[in-house]
Amino acid sequence: MSKHLVKIIVIVLQLFYCACNNWGWQDLESDHEPVLNVYALIVLDSTATSFVHVRQSLNLDESEYVRISHDTLWYGESPYDYIFKNTYLSSFMVDSAVVTISDGAHEVRFFPVRSTEEYMWYYPYAEYQIKESVIYLDTLHQFNPQPATEYFLKVIAPDGRCVNGSLVTPVVPQIQAVSIPDTLHLLRSFGVSWKALPDNYQLLRTITDYWVGNFKAVIEPGKTSWIAVPNDPSFFDSEDFACGMEICLTALDDNYYQYFIEKPLDDDFVSFLLGSAISGVSCGVEGGFGVFGAIATDRIYRIAVK
């Protein structure tokens, strides 16, 4: 499962890297003692797994990546038929930390798993780049998070620096699937309803294979329905347009909501995968920066037509 998740993360990073804007790991004006940046997510959803990023801030003269290997790949007989192959290791990475999540009675260890991003560059010379980083996963498959449960995070870096966190997981939302037609018409309003969650904000998304029909809305606690706005007819290229639509309703714990919804980030889940930071902000963690959050998702699938 861990290898599958890493592949998913790499794909998402490639697809959404352009949305990163000015997010980054350091916002410094002078040298300082490195500060741990911890980004941990508990997922109460069978299609994903919980994970933890452990990074650290850098001083002004430190590079984001350090080259750890160099090779030359030949693809022809000409003396110019070669590509440089370089592997880089993220300087932000903390790859030997002790990471645990517990419910107060049972503690589960999360272990580091290397993930890679691959790039091709053609200027100023042809280079095949491999950038390595680390994500901490429950590789032994012992962590089975439950809704409405308090969890505790502990991260101990090799040099003794420690970050602690806590949260209460949200209740799993329940979309009222029987109230939503099998086929939705994008030129008309359609509604989505669900069982009320009085204590948690929710994030509702409709996702298609095309730009049309994609919506995103923050749902306040206690609210039980949402109405989609009809699409503009000019968005459609053909009269017989049809596609699949995924309707996702995600409940958010308080830490997740405060960090990603109340703060000016463009894409909440992608920023978790990137390990991106709001400089100097902590939600649910002590001893460093970052966030310890939890989400729970229900989803249904429908056909969407013009």
C-alpha span between 134 and 182 (Å, rounded): 42
Contact 12, 273 (CB under 8 A): yes
Residue at token pair 């107060």: 104
Placement of tokens 């969407």 in the chain = 304
Beta strands in 139-185 (DSSP E): 150-156, 162-168, 183-185
pLDDT tens figures, 160-211: 999 999 999 999 999 999 999 999 999 999 999 999 999 999 999 999 988 7
Q: How far apart are CA 184 and CA 187, in angstroms?
A: 9
At 220-239, the pLDDT tens digits run: 999 999 999 998 887 777 77
Task: Check: CB of residue 84 under 8 Å from CB of residue 126.
Answer: yes
Q: Please, how many CA atoms are within 13 Å of residue 62, restricted to the half-sphere of its CB?
A: 19
**Whether the predicted model's global pTM rises above the 0.75 cut:** yes
Q: Calculate the average pLDDT of the chain.
A: 82
Range with the lowest mean pLDDT among 25-29, 120-124, 290-294? 25-29
CATH number, span 177-252+297-305: 2.60.40
Domain boundaries along the sequence of the chain: 2-16+24-61+92-116+133-171+253-294, 177-252+297-305
